[in-house]
Structures are given as structure tokens and as C-alpha cells.
């Protein structure tokens, strides 16, 4: 499963960090957050470094406190040096550092854009998972459907893909059901939201 490091400033990003942790965990991702996972009596920087070594991506929750924090800067720069994907998330308007400004960020700072931002974030995280080429199938199939418990997903165009590990059903349902709860709030962005869901479904179907 994908391991994610949440990087945020405690001063003004803790609430957003906890909400995001809950939503990503509900989707089925493994989330590392310093709150509750740091161990007493051990060097904190070494613990963070060890955690960064074991994740696939770092989510940088951009707030005024984050962009001025030496510790937060160390976290995302260290993740980049380790070859991890750094994905900026705009939580509150702030002056984004040039190094992060060059990266595409997801806007979670506005209530009406939050569902779309979360859906496109999930889409990007899915891209980090190993994939296998899909196998075309004859006949028409449902847009999103799971065939029994045989780890078989039917995607658009009746594409059939086998998923190992016995978790195809749970993974697909967790992510799509979590996002489906937010669809009504997508408002004017529903078309983009639905497009992200289609991409997520297609990529999930290609998981090894």
C-alpha cells in the first residue's frame, strides 16, 4: 500500500492535517503523521528521517506558518533529496517558496474547491502505485464494477484487469466511496471531479 508523510506546521496546519489524515486513511492509504507517532527518548530529527525513508510521497500543507518554518522546509527538502514525490497542498493563502511554486499544487483552501482538490490528489497518489498493462475483454461492461471476489475490475470500454493481493474490492470501494460522499459539494467543479474519479478507477484497475 502507498505510504504518505503529512508535513504541516502545528501553528496553523494541525486541523487540516488531521482532517486529511482521516480522509486518506479512510481511502486505504497509510499515513505517517508526527502527532502520535513520534517516540519519546529518541532523537526527533532521526525519527523524521527514518519515516521519510519509508514513505512514497510527502504532502506539504502550505500555510503561512509552513512556508516560514525551518523544520517544515527541512522535511520537504529531505523528502525531495530522498527521491520522494513532494505534492504541495494549498491550505491557506501564503507566499509559496520558489522551489515549491514550480510544482503543481492542489488547492484545498476554498470550501467549494476542496472536493475537487481531494479527488485530484487521490488521482495523483494512485499514479505512484505499480501498474500492469490492462487486458482488453470482449463485450460491454459497466463503467465501474467488481466481479465477485475474484480481484477483477471492469473498467470503461470493458477492460478487465487482474489485481493481486485480494484487496481490489476494498481498495476501489474505499477510495471511490470516500470521494462520492464529497461529490455533492463539488458544485461547479463536478465535471472535473467526475473526470478525476474516472482516472482513479482506471488506474486502480491496473494495480499489480
pLDDT in tens, 44-63: 788 889 999 999 999 999 99
What pLDDT, on the 0 to 100 scale, is given for residue 2?
81
Nearest alpha-carbon partner for 161 in 118, 189, 129: 129
Q: How many Å is the maximal CA-CA distance in the chain? A: 61
Domain boundaries defined on the chain: 3-109, 135-205
What pLDDT, on the 0 to 100 scale, is given for residue 21?
92
**Is the pLDDT confidence value at 82 over 60?**
yes
CB 26 within 8 A of CB 178: yes
Top CATH class of 3-109 equals: alpha beta
**Is the pLDDT confidence value at 171 over 80?**
no
Average pLDDT over residues 167-186: 77
**Is the pLDDT confidence value at 168 over 90?**
no
What whole-number distance in Å separates Cα of residue 100 and Cα of residue 60? Answer: 9
**Is the pLDDT confidence value at 146 over 80?**
no
**Is the pLDDT confidence value at 144 over 50?**
no
The residues, any chain, with a CB within 8 Å of residue 187's CB and separated by 6 or more, are: 112
Measure Cα distances from 179 to 16, 26, 97, 126, 146 in Å.
Answer: 17, 10, 30, 14, 18
Mean pLDDT in the chain? Answer: 79
Average pLDDT over residues 61-78: 96
**Is the pLDDT confidence value at 125 over 70?**
yes
Measure Cα distances from 110 to 89, 117, 201 in Å.
Answer: 12, 9, 26
Grid look-up 473498467 returns 155
Average pLDDT over residues 194-202: 86
**Is the pLDDT confidence value at 72 over 70?**
yes
What whole-number distance in Å separates Cα of residue 125 and Cα of residue 203? Answer: 10
Half-sphere exposure of 125 (CA within 13 A, CB side): 28
**Is the pLDDT confidence value at 170 over 80?**
no
**Is the pLDDT confidence value at 8 over 60?**
yes
**Is the pLDDT confidence value at 42 over 70?**
no
Amino acid at each position: 500500500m502507498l505510504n504518505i508523510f503529512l508535513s504541516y506546521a502545528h501553528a496553523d496546519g494541525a486541523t487540516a492535517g488531521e482532517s486529511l489524515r482521516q480522509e486518506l486513511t479512510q481511502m486505504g492509504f497509510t499515513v505517517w503523521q508526527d502527532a502520535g507517532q513520534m517516540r519519546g527518548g529518541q532523537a526527533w530529527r532521526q525519527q523524521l528521517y527514518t519515516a521519510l525513508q519509508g514513505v512514497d510521497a510527502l504532502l506539504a500543507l502550505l500555510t503561512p506558518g509552513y512556508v516560514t518554518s525551518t523544520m517544515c522546509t527541512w522535511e520537504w527538502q529531505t523528502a525531495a533529496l530522498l527521491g520522494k514525490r513532494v505534492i504541495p497542498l494549498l491550505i491557506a493563502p501564503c507566499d509559496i517558496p520558489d522551489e515549491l511554486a514550480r510544482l503543481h499544487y492542489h488547492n484545498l483552501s476554498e470550501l467549494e474547491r476542496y472536493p475537487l482538490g481531494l479527488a485530484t490528489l487521490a488521482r495523483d497518489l494512485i499514479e505512484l502505485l505499480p501498474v500492469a498493462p490492462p487486458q482488453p475483454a470482449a463485450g460491454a461492461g459497466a463503467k465501474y464494477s467488481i466481479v465477485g471476489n475474484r480481484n477483477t475490475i471492469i473498467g470503461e470500454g470493458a477492460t478487465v484487469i487482474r489485481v493481486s493481493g485480494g484487496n481490489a474490492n476494498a481498495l476501489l470501494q474505499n477510495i471511490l466511496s470516500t470521494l462520492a460522499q464529497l461529490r455533492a459539494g463539488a458544485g461547479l467543479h463536478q465535471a472535473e471531479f467526475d473526470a478525476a474519479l474516472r482516472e482513479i478507477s482506471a488506474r486502480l484497475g491496473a494495480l499489480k
